[in-house]
A and B are shown apart, each in its own frame.
Chain A
Amino acid sequence: MTDEPKKMAIIASQGSLDWAYPPFILASTAAAMGIETKVFFTFYGLPLLKPEIKAKVTPAANPAMPMKMPFGPKGFQSINWPIPHAVSGVMPGFDTVATSLMKKTFANKGVATITELRDMCLMLGVDLIACQMTMDVFGFEEKDFIEGISYAGAAAFLDFAVDADIQLFI
């Protein structure tokens, strides 16, 4: 261990449920390891800072996503259902069903929810930063987001990232 803490800078640019996990998992773990961490939420990642996270998965846009059931006998659960793109892409409510199945799977496997991981990030001192420009573009105000976050632009984030030991774009 050195006196100067290691640093990690993450850009979280995606807002779907599957893409929401990596920034919060890595940021909370890094903070637990004594790594000073900042996450810059921009474009579609920005809504992850709203009080209620409504992120979904979109199987039609992710052909490699395993389509499995989180209930039933083990053999049934291991079936990877071959859902044609023509169905997953156009059927109303398909994303909602797939999202609830994935959330159920995560819960069954003891994976924390996005909200839990975000709370841990704040508890552990991770700096969650909302991109000011994206707020203007998409019409968000500070009152739309949770307490305890900060607001900045590209230059302020890069000023931290340039000296970071780990830089990730997610």
Chain B
Amino acid sequence: MTQQTYDDELDCSGMNCPLPVLKTKMKIDEMTKGAVLLVSTTDPGSCKDMPAWASRVGHKIVDSGEVDGRFLFYVQKGE
């Protein structure tokens, strides 16, 4: 994972399924197209849930990875 720039961030540490996806959806709805949201989670399930959600709704995960026990997702808002 390379260092990415982002426009806003959302900490979903400690939250379990389906909260990280729901909180991310609500947060990204307030952002503009093309903006990048950095989401951090501790729920291992989110590693598959976040990409599944993003591809379904047209957002792009430009980078993701695990750092110090946290899962990071750089989500770029699509259409």
Chain B 21-40 interface mask (CB, 8 Å, partner A; 1/0): 11001100000000000000
B53 touches A33 (CB 8 A): yes
Bound Cα distance A111, B58 (Å): 26
A122-138, CB < 8 A from B: 123-124
Residue pair A34, B57 in contact (C-beta under 8 Å): yes
Q: A25-B17, A110-B19 are in contact. Are A32 and B53 (CB under 8 A)?
A: yes
Task: Give how many A residues have a beta carbon under 8 Å from the other chain's beta carbons.
Answer: 14
- A1 within 8 Å of B (CB atoms): yes
Interfacial residues of chain B within 31-79, with CB under 8 A of chain A in the complex: 42-43, 52-53, 56-58, 79
CB distance from A151 to the nearest CB of B (A): 26
Number of interface residues of B (CB under 8 A): 18
* B21 touching A29, Cβ below 8 Å: yes
Does the CB pair B16–A109 fall under 8 Å?
Answer: yes
1/0 contact string of B7-27 vs chain A (CB within 8 Å)? 000000011111101100110
A28 within 8 A of B: yes
CB distance from B57 to the nearest CB of A (A): 5
User: Among the listed B21, B26, B43, B58, which residue makes an inter-chain contact with A110, where contact means beta carbons less than 8 Å apart?
Assistant: B43
A-B contact pairs, 22 of them (CB 8 A): A1-B56, A1-B57, A1-B58, A1-B79, A29-B21, A29-B22, A32-B21, A32-B25, A32-B53, A32-B57, A109-B16, A110-B14, A110-B15, A110-B16, A110-B19, A110-B42, A111-B19, A112-B19, A120-B22, A123-B26, A124-B22, A124-B25
A contact set with B: CB distance below 8 Å: 1, 25, 28-29, 32-34, 109-112, 120, 123-124
Known pairs A33-B57, A110-B42, A111-B17; list 15 more (Cβ under 8 Å). Answer: A1-B58, A1-B79, A25-B17, A29-B22, A29-B53, A32-B53, A33-B53, A110-B14, A112-B15, A112-B16, A112-B18, A112-B19, A120-B22, A123-B26, A124-B25
